[in-house]
A and B are shown apart, each in its own frame.
Chain A
Amino acid sequence: MLELESVTYRYAGATEPAVHDVTIRLAASEVVGLCGPSESGKTTLCLIASGLAPRAIRGTLAGRLLVDGADVAGRPMHELVSRAGICFQDPTTQLSGVNATVYEEVAFGPMNLGLPRSDVVARTEQALETLRIGDLAMRDPSRLSGGQLQLVAIAGLLAMRAAHLILDEPTAELDPAGTRLVGDAIEELAAAGTSILIAEQRTDLLARICQRVLILRGGRVAFEGPADEVLADPRLEELGGAPPSAVRLRREAIAAGIDVGAVDRAIAAGATA
């Protein structure tokens, strides 16, 4: 389990905390979404959950980060990376920048862990396979498109095989096909027991993969709950969020006088048939 217990984080030099008193618990196989406008604290929460704040970014953390029940305060980052991994929004800065091929780039993390070579190879190839980017393996990462780079960065994270994954807008550079692949990978990982915290603006993806969603505003949790309820909550739009297409479609159908209940019953009947 990955737990953020009443965390408050203030960046060095800032007058106000970027995150105020937030508590999140992720059980094994659970996918939790973070959604909210810019500067609502999504990225800061991801940095705290991964252990990077305050280890790699200066600031003050109040509250606790517990990884599998253990308070990890004071533990070095390299001890956390095989348990909690993070993927950022910008793929160009996530790559090491020193590897000549995608294969070596994906293998970079496992190589740093000093794993046996056969493990590094197995992890790398499985990560490439999961995201269907085996055909990019021998390509120069610096010659890839933004979307391809993002998939390579996510593959690099998957190769670390952490029990808890934190994804900060992982589909920002991706087209619909790439987004679907990432969604598939997340579902596959969650089914295998990985807990996943994902900050994402694409509510369609959140509706598909998340069990719970937290909506943030000004560094605080504005409201939270089961994904289908939170993403259909009118307050989401007040905060500038766009509801998932299914929710919008349903609202439009109701507005047009269509008997949505009958449609739902027909779908349910079809599903059980």
Chain B
Amino acid sequence: MAVGAENSARLGFQGPAGQTWYQRLNPLTKLVFATVTAVGAVLLGGVVGPLLLVLLAVILPAVVAHVLGRLVRTSLLVSLPIGLSALIVNVFFFPGGRDVLLQVGPIAATREGLEFATQILARIAAISGAITLFYLTTRPSDLVLDLERRGISGRAAFVANASVQTVPRMVELAAGNVAAQRARGLDTEGGLLARVGGVVPIVGPVILGSIADVEERTMSLEARGFTRPGRRTLLWAPADSAPERVARWLLILALLAIVAARATGVIG
């Protein structure tokens, strides 16, 4: 059989290998890194701090992990709607904006609004970039295994993981329903109204299908001993190392330093 060649026969499953050293980092390290980047960008404020974080804590690791293209696409997809809203609202409706850059009918774009919007956009870029980088370089199941090894109950870890995995499952279910409805003549293309009208008959089956799924999935879990009390066996857990533990604490200390600097007015 071909279960990782000799590895399977002698040692059993050791977990899948990551593609680059960044992917192979412990999931908790990457989670701490993403959290510190996102929270740090909010606390630092301004434009330079968050943009530096984007460069050093998002783009650079993304290049190392060979995911820059996907990171940019996914990050834009996630942050574009909120970014555009923030830009329009702040540029045109910034309270106290005096220096008018552009007049469009009764509303005016102001320099103060543009500056503030730029700050917001820099933060959004850092937050969405950090989260996307974590998502692209870490399998949810690896994080769950790592947390379980650290003492989190298997059931809590499963619920967290299952919640993350539910979204793609529902998207898949919706895609199947769309295809089925289109095969029966439903128009889901064209203008906005036509698309909205097309969504209505799909919502019900997706929700009901998901509920039915949950019932069957629950029975399957029961049949596979999931409700057994006590700790379950971990087949493997992502590797961790002393340098990574030190790095995590340093990152947390750095975040605390930013909090302190912010609280004492060193940065403002």
Residues on A lying within 8 angstroms of B by beta carbon are 47, 50, 52, 55-57, 76-78, 81-82, 85-86, 88, 90, 92-101, 103-104, 107-118, 120-122, 124-125, 128-129, 134-135, 137-138, 142, 156, 160
Contacts and interface: CB of A to CB of B under 8 A. Distances in A.
B85 interface: no
Given A94-B220, A120-B233, A125-B1, A100 B16 contact: yes
B225 A112 contact: yes
Contact of A121 (B13, B216, B220): B13
B141 interface: yes
B200 interface: no
Question: Which one of B139, B144, B215, B235 has the greatest number of beta carbons of chain A within 10 Å?
Answer: B235
29 contacts: A50-B223, A57-B215, A78-B225, A92-B213, A93-B216, A94-B216, A96-B158, A103-B3, A104-B141, A104-B235, A107-B13, A110-B233, A111-B233, A111-B234, A112-B154, A112-B225, A113-B232, A117-B235, A120-B233, A120-B235, A121-B12, A124-B12, A124-B13, A125-B3, A134-B2, A134-B3, A137-B3, A137-B4, A138-B3
A98 B141 contact: yes
Given A90-B216, A121-B13, A156-B224, A98 B233 contact: no
Contact of B233 (A94, A114, A129): A114
A252 to B, nearest CB: 37
Contacts of A85: 223
A97 B169 contact: yes
B260 interface: no
Interface in B199-244: 213, 215-235
Nearest to B159: A98
A120 to B, nearest CB: 5
A128 to B, nearest CB: 6
B115 interface: no
Given A108-B224, A112-B226, A98 B235 contact: no
B198 interface: no
Contacts of A134: 1-3, 8
Contacts of A86: 223
B161 interface: yes
Contacts of B16: 100-101, 138
B224 A160 contact: yes
Given A93-B217, A100-B141, A117 B12 contact: yes
Which 7 pairs between the two chains have the least Cβ-Cβ distance?
Answer: A134-B1, A121-B12, A78-B228, A93-B216, A112-B225, A109-B224, A137-B3
Contact of A97 (B2, B3, B11, B217): B217
A121 B235 CA distance: 8
Contact of B221 (A96, A137, A142): A96
B61 interface: no
Given A52-B223, A82-B225, A112-B224, A104 B13 contact: yes
Given A57-B215, A138-B4, 11 more contacts: A94-B220, A96-B224, A98-B140, A99-B141, A104-B141, A113-B233, A117-B233, A121-B13, A121-B235, A125-B8, A138-B3
Nearest to B214: A93
Contacts of B140: 98
B196 interface: no
B165 A81 contact: no
A160 B2 contact: no
Nearest to A118: B12
A104 B15 CA distance: 9
A78 B221 contact: no
A118 B236 CA distance: 12
B162 interface: yes
A113 B225 CA distance: 6
Contacts of A57: 215, 219
A77 B222 contact: yes
Given A101-B16, A117-B235, A78 B162 contact: no
Contact of B227 (A78, A114, A122): A78
A47 B218 CA distance: 13
Contacts of B162: 97-98
A145 B217 CA distance: 19
A56 B218 CA distance: 8
A82 B228 CA distance: 11
A110 B2 CA distance: 21
